[in-house]
Amino acid sequence: MSPGSFDPVDEFDRQTRTLIDKGYPAMTGLSAQALGELVDPLRAHVVDRAREMRPPTPARVPFVLVVTRKLVPTHRTITVTELGGRPGFADFDDADLERFEAIDGVDVPDREVYLVFDIERGPDTRNVAPRDAMPMITERGRSPLTIEEGIALVTQFPETLEKNNCFSLLASRCGDKRVPALWISKKAPKLGWCWNGNPHTWLGSASCAGRAG
């Protein structure tokens, strides 16, 4: 896609349609129209930032619509991600997964749906342990991603999940040394975890420039 062909407002509409096509109305208990009405006020944030946006690539995307667990439990949203028709899955039981919450210092909008801007999967943090990647991210004025944001990214842009280019989600923790991450397993998206002190050559730490709700 060339820069001239990218229209952020069209992309916003595409992401809204993707949520509807992926079955979010049924999962939320809302009609497709009601879900669209819930999402639509966020359009203004995209319009305000449109001039600074660039077309999405596998490594970096301009924005993503995030549906939070206020509407749909995380163990359900991971199942509508897919690669080559293979649905995503979680290496957590449902109750354990819901224990992971945004860490202190990460300002997540208190909304059912919000936007996250300028997301990258962290190529400079591959083979860097999560505990060491965190200061690298914050020193750049960026914020690590939560589980919900990572799932939203792969839902809208499955091409961001590539062999040797997968990513940890440092902004969601549950009080132990586990750090959630998204990678490819059995040719499908997998939400799993790695230890905070362990580096992996194929795993970076995803981040964003900001959020709006």
The helix or strand, by DSSP H or E, that contains position 166, with its residue range, turns out to be strand 166-168
Residue 117 has phi, psi (to 5 degrees) of -115, 150
Burial level of 186, CB count in 10 A (0-12/13-18/19+)?
exposed
Say if residues 74 and 80 touch (Cβ distance below 8 Å). no
Type of residue at 126: R
Per-residue pLDDT of 101-111, as tens digits, reads 999 999 999 99
Per-residue confidence (pLDDT) for residue 5, from 0 to 100: 81
pLDDT at 1: 39
159: how many CB neighbours lie within 10 A of its CB? 12
Residue 164, sorted as left (phi over 0), alpha (psi -120 to 50) or beta, turns out to be left
Q: Write down the residue that tokens 């690539």 correspond to.
A: 57
- 4 — pLDDT class (breaks 50, 70, 90): low
Band (2; pLDDT cuts 50, 70, 90)? very low
Can you give the pTM of this predicted structure? Answer: 0.96
**For residues 4-21, average pLDDT:** 94
**Sequential DSSP letters for 98-148:** TT-EEPTT----SSSEEEEEEEE--GGGTTS-HHHHHHHHHHTT-EEPPHH
pLDDT, tens digit (0-9, with 9 covering 90-100), for 45-81: 999 999 999 999 999 999 999 999 999 999 999 999 9
Q: Name which of 211, 204, 213, 119 is nearest 164 in CA terms.
A: 204
Whole-number pLDDT of residue 131 = 97
* Tens digit of each residue's pLDDT (9 = 90 or more) over 136-194: 999 999 999 999 999 999 999 999 999 999 999 999 999 999 999 999 999 999 999 99
